[in-house]
Amino acid sequence: MPLQDRFTAEVTFYVRYAETDAMGVVHHGSYITYFEEGRSNYARQRGSDYASFEREGYYLLVAEVHARYLKPARYGQRVTVCCWINELKSRSLTFAYEILDADTRDLLVTGESKHICITKDGQVTRLPESWRTWDV
């Protein structure tokens, strides 16, 4: 569980069967989608969902993603994705993630992703005003 004092959004869901692989556990790539769902949920909890962000003509390009796998999750398990903003600049931001077992709160995966704000035609631009106070 993030020890820092920043606003942290949590979302909990069941592992889907399609997200597992032949090793019998959740495929490492599926957590990248869990991270994404974590930041979708973050924006929803902040009252400014990413769908309307895109409708206003902004996109958050993924510039970098990093994941560390500590314990495997399995089908049947419920996981909680914690997401918060690590760093917020005028044109970019970094989200951090912790994925936990929803019941035991065991830490399964940690990660970060760096994003750059662009317009529809691909120009780097400033984050909208409403997002620029999210680093608290």
Who's near 104: CB < 8 A, 6+ residues apart?
none
Given phi > 0 = left and psi -120 to 50 = alpha, else beta, which region is 55?
alpha
Of 9, 10, 20, 99, the one binding its own copies by CB under 8 A: 20
**Site mask for its own copies (CB under 8 A), range 101-120, x = bound:** --------------------
- Using CB under 8 A as the binding rule, whether residue 62 contacts its own copies is answered as yes
Strand pairing partners for 109?
A: 69, 99
Tell whether residue 36 is a contact of its own copies (CB under 8 A). Answer: yes
**By CB under 8 A, which span of 2-10, 14-22, 95-103, 124-132 interacts with its own copies?**
14-22
Report which of 57, 74, 67 is spatially closest to residue 118, judged by C-alpha positions. Answer: 57
Question: Out of 6, 66, 89, 126, which residue is the one contacting its own copies (CB under 8 A)?
Answer: 66
Among the listed residues 65, 126, 120, 136, the one whose alpha carbon sits nearest the alpha carbon of residue 97: 65
Note whether 71 binds its own copies by CB under 8 A: no
How far apart (Å, rounded) are the C-alpha atoms in residues 78 and 105?
10
Binding residues for its own copies, rule: CB under 8 A, are: 13-14, 16-18, 20-25, 27-29, 32-33, 36-37, 40-41, 44, 49-52, 54, 59, 61-69, 74-76
